[in-house]
Amino acid sequence: MGVAGLLPLLKNASQPGHISDFKGSTAAVDGYCWLHRGAFSCAEKLVLGEKTDMHIRFCMKMIKTLQANGVRPVVVFDGKSLPSKAETNKKRSESKKENRAKARMLFADGQASEAKKVMRRCVEITPELAHQFIEELRRKDVDYIVAPYEADAQLAFLNLNGFVDFVVSEDSDLMLFGCERVFYKMDVNGYGTIVEKSKIPNCLGPRASTYFTHDKFRWACILSGCDYLESLPGIGLKKALKFLKPTSNTDPQTLLKKMPVYLNMPTLTVTQEYIDSFVKADNTFLYQVVFCPDTKKLCPLNPYPAGVCGDDMPYAGTYYDSKLVIDIALGNIHATRHYPMGHPYVPKNGIIVRKTKPTISCLKVSGFSFTKAKIEPKQAAIEILDEEVVKKKETELVAEMINLYGKQIDDSDKVKDEDMLKPKAAAQGRSFQQELGGKGNERPLNVFKKIESTEQKEPTSKFDKIVSRFFVSNIAPHSQVVAVKRKAAPCESQESAAVAKRQITLKDLFK
């Protein structure tokens, strides 16, 4: 599953972490991962159809690990298999069935330990099993969604649209779907590996961010072989990256044909069929059908390009009746066969995924530059406060700014502290460092300074401080502001910093 060798490749975008590093934020969790792990403790019973709840207990233990560390979980389950994968899933399911029959025979034959081994390899996580977990989540008032198709795409959708801050999973595909942050391989104690999208260029060679886009990254992964398309013989991640690195061609139809020449592999043949399958795989990563908890409708993971609609790509999922959509998302009916499962459930207030604000204790003012992230204070404030209150506060803020800088500055971060403060500081007979509040020789970084040191420092400015103060004093008491830990990576270049900057949106701040 996933892209072979991707996580090792992303080593420089990864770091060991603990779930408490995400304190105060919200996680989308791949439910099947945990069910699968939990099923190990009671594989025989599940296969023999005996009653057990060990697997559910394990899942709830993981849920508690998140909650105990101040992370609110939203659990996501797989729905219907995509047409492109239905075939392989069927085969897999059938082979498991055969193995289960074998295991039962072994067991009946008295070869208990041998049978157990086989059973552990053939437990299948059925929608019914998932439903047991769902019922427990309902009891514990934990949000969950059954995805219309693959959980991966749904997890990514929740992450990209501000429903959650990060994803907990084991599947490398999450990075291809465009997730910002994924917490991999979390153990029961909460330890795991954090992988960040903004750091992917760190793994693709020097100056990668100047020529590497996320599209190219995804294409390289598809070429190297993914769930939706096998690779051409002899093509792995390295070759794919090497091929895509120098090109500016964004049309797969003409681009892919050049592969044998570029890579000097005369035996390699790129058929039209392969190119068409490549485009389908790419579209499946970009536009897979997911469920939007706000509109309670199906939609593509990313908006379709102009002139394209869902009918053009049935392989990425098809749209169906809206009443069905909600019942499938809630786990009231089977995602594929549409029969009822358990008691119909309707969440409180009809809200399927809550968007609560994390607590004020998570506000890391010092680690985050509002100007760099281009957060519009006013827009942010209106999200939470009364517009009248915001207007009044804005006037006060502007007044304070004029008092400090001599004029109103915008948040385009084109202003050097030094330039702004020198005249004013000189007029008062002080150094601009003093004006900035720095101590002695401690000179604050300005936004133009290249981040080179291994020290994890964010450029800060007086303007940031004012905005931060504004947030803390006016917004935080009314709401709860999310922690935004933006730390410069050891080798983060200006370019990748710029990429990261664009990726931080208002949604990252207010959930």
**388: Cβ contacts below 8 Å, ≥ 6 apart:** none
Measured CA to CA, the distance from residue 284 to residue 278 in angstroms comes to 10
Q: With respect to DNA, which residue has the nearer C-beta, 90 or 430? A: 90
Q: With respect to DNA, which residue has the nearer C-beta, 140 or 242? A: 242
Asked whether position 234 contacts DNA by CB under 7 A, the answer is yes
Asked whether position 430 contacts DNA by CB under 7 A, the answer is no
Residue among 64, 90, 97, 121 that touches DNA (CB under 7 A): 121
Q: With respect to DNA, which residue has the nearer C-beta, 169 or 468? A: 169
φ, ψ of residue 487 to 5 degrees: the values are: -115, 140
Asked whether position 57 contacts DNA by CB under 7 A, the answer is yes
Contact track, DNA, 3-42, x by CB under 7 A: -x--xx----------------------------xx-xx-
Cβ at position 117, least distance to DNA in Å: 8
Q: Which residue bears the tokens 């198709």?
A: 149
Tokens encoding 503: 């990726």
Asked whether position 96 contacts DNA by CB under 7 A, the answer is yes
Of 17-25, 105-113, 239-247, 383-391, the segment contacting DNA by CB under 7 A is 239-247
Asked whether position 327 contacts DNA by CB under 7 A, the answer is no
Asked whether position 398 contacts DNA by CB under 7 A, the answer is no
Residue among 154, 198, 224, 461 that touches DNA (CB under 7 A): 224
Q: How many residues bind DNA (CB under 7 A)?
A: 35
Measured CA to CA, the distance from residue 377 to residue 397 in angstroms comes to 10
Residue among 25, 65, 154, 172 that touches DNA (CB under 7 A): 172
Of 194-202, 231-239, 305-313, 439-447, the segment contacting DNA by CB under 7 A is 231-239
In this structure, are residues 150 and 73 in contact, taking their beta carbons and an 8 Å threshold?
no
**440: Cβ contacts below 8 Å, ≥ 6 apart:** 433
Asked whether position 216 contacts DNA by CB under 7 A, the answer is no
Asked whether position 237 contacts DNA by CB under 7 A, the answer is yes
Q: With respect to DNA, which residue has the nearer C-beta, 187 or 321? A: 187
Q: How many residues does the chain have?
A: 511
Q: Which residue bears the tokens 């809630």?
A: 330
Written as one string, the DSSP assignment of 162-228 is TS-SEEEES-THHHHTT-SEEEES--TTSEEEEEEGGGGGGGS-TTHHHH--HHHHHHHHHHT-BTT
Measured CA to CA, the distance from residue 69 to residue 172 in angstroms comes to 24
Q: With respect to DNA, which residue has the nearer C-beta, 96 or 485? A: 96
Measured CA to CA, the distance from residue 295 to residue 290 in angstroms comes to 12
Q: With respect to DNA, which residue has the nearer C-beta, 6 or 380? A: 6
Provide the b/e sequence for 234-255 (b: ≥16 CB within 10 Å): ebebebbbebbeeeeeeebeeb
Of 153-161, 223-231, 343-351, 358-366, the segment contacting DNA by CB under 7 A is 223-231
Residue among 229, 240, 325, 475 that touches DNA (CB under 7 A): 240
Asked whether position 187 contacts DNA by CB under 7 A, the answer is yes
Measured CA to CA, the distance from residue 357 to residue 24 in angstroms comes to 9
Asked whether position 54 contacts DNA by CB under 7 A, the answer is yes
**Nearest alpha-carbon partner for 317 in 291, 292, 279:** 291
Q: With respect to DNA, which residue has the nearer C-beta, 236 or 347? A: 236
Give the binding site for DNA (CB under 7 A): 1-2, 4, 7-8, 37-38, 40-41, 54, 57-58, 61, 92, 95-96, 120-121, 170-172, 187-188, 224-225, 231, 233-240, 242
